[in-house]
Structure 1
Amino acid sequence: MDLQTVMRELEALGKERLKKMYLSNGAHEPLFGVATGEMKPLRRQIKRNQELAEQLYATGNYDAMYFAGVIADPKAMSAADFERWIDAAYFYMLSDFVVAVTLAETEIGFAQEVCDRWIASGDELRMSAGWSCYCWLLGSRKDAEFDSGKLAGLLELARETIHDAPERAKYAMNMFLTTIAVSYVPLHEQAVETAAAVGPVEVNKDKKKSKLLSASDNIQKALDRGQIGFKRNYVRC
């Protein structure tokens, strides 16, 4: 299946209601408004195709860029490829749910090196993608694959910097605190203590009504559902 055929298939799946929703969340034209679940039959036909994924991502069409992440071959991508993808990720649905998700399916050491560089960059969407990728990794890989000392250092970094971080990074960092507590058992207690020390995190300060994020509340909900130690079987849809 070539680029033109896939674009026609995606356009046919577009819904005006979803297009409006994506636009309200930060997407911009061009886009079709395709539900992610509607992409699954197309994904099953194509499976993994890195060349086609690169062509789709380069279109700048939000739905095509998202689908590129679905069919990409993460282990065929270099650090330079991921830098190119994050450069083109113009809002958080691309940075956190396309680039970060794709990176999370590479070799774990490589993924963490890229994440660490993005977290230290000071760039809002790179930081968001880096923290988000750690969440995807922690939620899908065995605890033994991680260095607990390194993760403890990231917990401390989050505690010290989250309140002054860029907006989207706050969301991802808050989720990181929750994910450590829920999915990485060796640091569960430390994550619970860190979340309590951080307290509510204010976002949307520039809007009429701000919002408070609470990792402690999310952790408690997971405890109530008996989800401590939860790991997902896969990352991508």
Structure 2
Amino acid sequence: MDLEMVMQELEALGKERLKKMYISNGAREPLFGVATGEMKPIFKKIKYNQPLAEQLYATGNYDAMYFAGIIAEPNVMTEADYERWMDAAYFYMLSDYVVAVTLSEADIAQEVADKWIVSGEDLKMSAGWSCYCWLLGSRPDSEFVESKLAKMLEQVAATIHEAPERTKYAMNNFMYTVATSYLPLHDKAVAIAKTVCPVEVINDKGKSKLISALENIQKAEARGKLGFKRKQVRC
């Protein structure tokens, strides 16, 4: 399948209801409003194809950019490629659920995510923290340095309340993911969550809400989900 054929299939799967929902979350035209699960049959036809992924991502169409992440080849992409994708990720559903997810399957994931976390740019920081969440939730504990993750938890404790809004969400999720998917630091993550939660976040319309990693950790513990690891990150 070439670019034109994929775009035609995506357009045929678009739903106005989903399009409106994506726009309400920050997506902008062009987009079709395709449910992510509806993309699986197209993926089965194509499998992984980095050149096509690059063409799709370059369209600026949200659904095409999302599908690009599904068919991308993470270890074919260089750090410069991830930076380019990140620069085009104009809202969190692209930064955290396309770019960060794709990066999490690459060998250079931690190296790139570390740079994004200290970038000072909200979506980059959010993507960096989110990448660690995807990593922790799918890779063996042996791939991480406990002292490094402990320092990251301390960084969350010291900075989350002053962090940019999307970064707050990602940091909150980092506390939750460490507590549930990296058991060597479960107790430390819970203790820090107790000191910082709830966290106030303010949306684009100026409305405030409270988020709490602690509540979600307690729910996961009650369901017996501690130690949870995904078999794969991408669909």
Q: What CA distance in whole angstroms lies between the structure 2 residues aligned with 1:206 and 1:126?
A: 18
Q: What CA distance in whole angstroms lies between the structure 2 residues aligned with 1:206 and 1:61?
A: 22
Counterpart in the other structure of 1:114: 112
Q: Cα distance, 1:205 vs. partner?
A: 6.3
Counterpart in the other structure of 2:175: 177
Residue identity (%): 71
Indicate yes or no: 2:97 matched with 1:94.
no
Q: Secondary structure at the residue paired with 1:32? A: coil
Letter in 1 for 2:145: D
TM-score, normalised by the number of residues in structure 1: 0.98
Letter in 2 for 1:33: G
Query: What CA RMSD, in Å, does the superposition of the two structures yield over aligned residues?
Result: 0.9
Q: What CA distance in whole angstroms lies between the structure 2 residues aligned with 1:204 and 1:64?
A: 29
Counterpart in the other structure of 2:9: 9
Kindly provide the CA deviation profile for residues 63-85 of structure 1, in whole angstroms up to 9, marking residues without a partner as x: 00000000000010000000000
Letter in 2 for 1:165: A
TM-score, normalised by the number of residues in structure 2: 0.98
Cα pair distance change 1:144/1:33, threshold 3 Å: same
Kindly provide the CA deviation profile for residues 12-41 of structure 1, in whole angstroms up to 9, marking residues without a partner as x: 110011001101100000000000000000
* Correspondence for 1:193 among 171, 177, 191: 191
Cα pair distance change 1:206/1:19, threshold 3 Å: closer
Q: What CA distance in whole angstroms lies between the structure 2 residues aligned with 1:233 and 1:208?
A: 38
Aligned length: 235
Q: What CA distance in whole angstroms lies between the structure 1 residues aligned with 2:135 and 2:206?
A: 35
**Unaligned ranges ≥5, structure 2:** none
Counterpart in the other structure of 1:84: 84
Counterpart in the other structure of 2:56: 56
Counterpart in the other structure of 1:156: 154
Q: What CA distance in whole angstroms lies between the structure 2 residues aligned with 1:191 and 1:127?
A: 20
Counterpart in the other structure of 1:43: 43
Letter in 2 for 1:117: K
Cα pair distance change 1:206/1:4, threshold 3 Å: closer
Deviates more, 1:143-152 or 1:198-207: 198-207
Deviates more, 1:201-210 or 1:227-236: 201-210
Indicate yes or no: 2:211 matched with 1:213.
yes
Q: Secondary structure at the residue paired with 2:40? A: helix
Q: Secondary structure at the residue paired with 1:81? A: helix
Q: Cα distance, 1:199 vs. partner?
A: 1.8
Q: Secondary structure at the residue paired with 1:203? A: strand
Q: What CA distance in whole angstroms lies between the structure 2 residues aligned with 1:9 and 1:60?
A: 16
Counterpart in the other structure of 2:200: 202
Letter in 2 for 1:79: E
Q: What CA distance in whole angstroms lies between the structure 1 residues aligned with 2:206 and 2:83?
A: 34
Displaced runs of 4 or more, over 3 A: 205-209
Q: Secondary structure at the residue paired with 1:116? A: helix
Q: What CA distance in whole angstroms lies between the structure 2 residues aligned with 1:84 and 1:66?
A: 15
Q: What CA distance in whole angstroms lies between the structure 2 residues aligned with 1:11 and 1:193?
A: 47
Q: Secondary structure at the residue paired with 1:56? A: helix
Kindly provide the CA deviation profile for residues 169-193 of structure 1, in whole angstroms up to 9, marking residues without a partner as x: 0000000000000000100000000
Cα pair distance change 1:206/1:103, threshold 3 Å: closer
Q: Cα distance, 1:87 vs. partner?
A: 0.1
